[in-house]
Amino acid sequence: MRVADQEAGPYGITTGPDGALWLTFVHNGRIARLTLDGELKEYPLDSPTCRPAIITPGPDGALWFTRSQDHRIGRITTDGEVDSFRLPTPDSGPFGITAGPDDAVWFTQMNADRIGRIANKGEISEFALPVAGGFPSAITTGADGALWFTLNQANAIGRITTEGDTAIHPLPTPNAAPVGIASDGTALWFVEIAAGQIGRISVDGEIREFPLPDRTAKPHAIVAVSTGDCWFTEWGANRIGHITAGGEITEYDLPSPASEPHGIALGPDGALWAALETGGVARVAP
């Protein structure tokens, strides 16, 4: 389904509390709401070059998103009221974002080696990581009540408690460059964009890696439907992939060539929805 032109760049996608899909248009600074019957409404942000990236439902019934170019956290209600909050650290590059276990929203700061926390009224805390140039990317809440995140350039998975205590788990494969991460309610699943693998890490830190049939597929984002049931995008191969708890992988080619699938979410209809940076969304019925 086409929702925009290539200049808009659909990138992040999530299901909102209103039963609609919400997307970021990374190239033209807009948030879009898409209903299951195809009705699309766009909300322009105050800066068309702010590069909204990842979007997530917050604990307050609004949608929260990162603005990676002007270093802000954005918030939009289901009625379309928009606000944003400037981060204390300049040029920090927020990217990943998730609802935390503590009624706050947590996010990564790619350029600053920090994890951030923002409360509903906009109060921001930042936690420095014990790495330099680690490029923290995606983040999610784990079954253990901590936040788990990928360190793209440090080649590791990180864990941070709500008090700010951190642990770093190096990956077995060198230079794997992890990006997306998701919790299946038991373990964490992540993608290795440079190694063409899917990884699994237990809350105790045990890591397994599963190579894709095409190691150049560049897996990008991942979502868990249930325990050991995950779906992911293959940005470099124009596919949507599925992996089971045992590592069995199935792949599905997208009809549109070179559509650049990025974000992926479980939709309100039980299907998987992916944002295509060339201007569309894809729906995969499991």
Neighbours of 85 (CB within 10 A): 17
Please name the helix (run of DSSP H) or strand (run of DSSP E) that holds residue 40, with its range, or none: strand 40-44
Q: Phi, psi (5° rounding) for residue 244?
A: -95, 175
Residues designated catalytic: 262
**13 alpha-carbon distance from chain centroid:** 8
- Find all residues with CB under 8 Å of 169, minimum gap 6, and list them: 156, 157, 158, 159, 201, 205, 207
Of 196, 199, 198, 144, residue with least CA distance to 167: 144
Q: Which residues are annotated as a binding site?
A: 220, 260, 277
* Residue type present at position 282: A
Strand partners, 160: 147, 166
Q: Which residues are annotated as a binding site for substrate?
A: 220
HSE-CB for 100 with a 13 A CA cutoff: 24
Residue 92, token pair as written in the block: 């920090």
Handedness of CA 260, 264, 268, 272 (dihedral sign): positive
HSE-CB for 261 with a 13 A CA cutoff: 35
CA 54, 58, 64 angle in degrees (round to 5)?
A: 35
* Residue type present at position 233: T
Strand partners, 33: 22, 41
